Amino acid sequence: MAYAEKPKGCVGCPAYKWGKGFVPPNGEPDAPAAFVGQGPGQTEGWTSEPFHDTAPIGQRFNKWLATSGIVRREVLVGNLVQCWLPKFYKGSAPDGNRDPTRKEMWWCWNAHVGPWLTGLGADVVVVPVGIPAAKFILSIPEDEGAEKFLGTLNNVDLPEVGKNNEQD
């Protein structure tokens, strides 16, 4: 099995050589909600499916949706960064997951994720999944916590596409 080829928009990304595969968002195009995680893990990198149902996070995510009465095929699912970022290499084999840097998040936001989310329309609810996604989408500075926003409903503007705010 080979990783999916990265699109041209990835050329120049700080993670271009390190990141594995390409995992675009998927789901119902007219969905009322889009769930956005931090980035794909190893299983998602192999399958090109965000929150894949055989990955631990995919199993947890599906259980969370089911508990909430949400049917996965009726929503959109994606990530801020769309390639798997291995934490390290064992010999030549990638392993583990590392958090994306702000530069990587901004690159992917401008090239892929921002256009996808802003193109969905004003009535789509964007749900960040996890602290890195919440901090990025809610524009919370890196040195501040996001815990006060967990479980809350906030009417915010998504980060501007094309903005070059790549602080690290």
- Tell me, what's the pLDDT at 72? 93
- Tell me, what's the pLDDT at 162? 83
- Tell me, what's the pLDDT at 1? 64
pTM given for the model = 0.89
Is 40:84 a contact under the CB 8 Å cutoff? yes
- Give the residue among 123, 129, 133, 114 at the shortest CA–CA distance from 9: 114
Listed as ranges, residues in the chain with pLDDT below 70 are 1, 164-168
Instruction: List strand residue ranges (DSSP E) for 11-137, in order.
Output: 26-27, 33-37, 76-79, 88-90, 93-95, 125-128
- Tell me, what's the pLDDT at 96? 83
Query: Which residue ranges form the domains of the chain, and what is each CATH number?
Result: 19-149 (3.40.470.10)
| Count of beta carbons in the 10 Å neighbourhood of residue 153 | 7
Q: Which residue has the tokens 């960040």?
A: 128
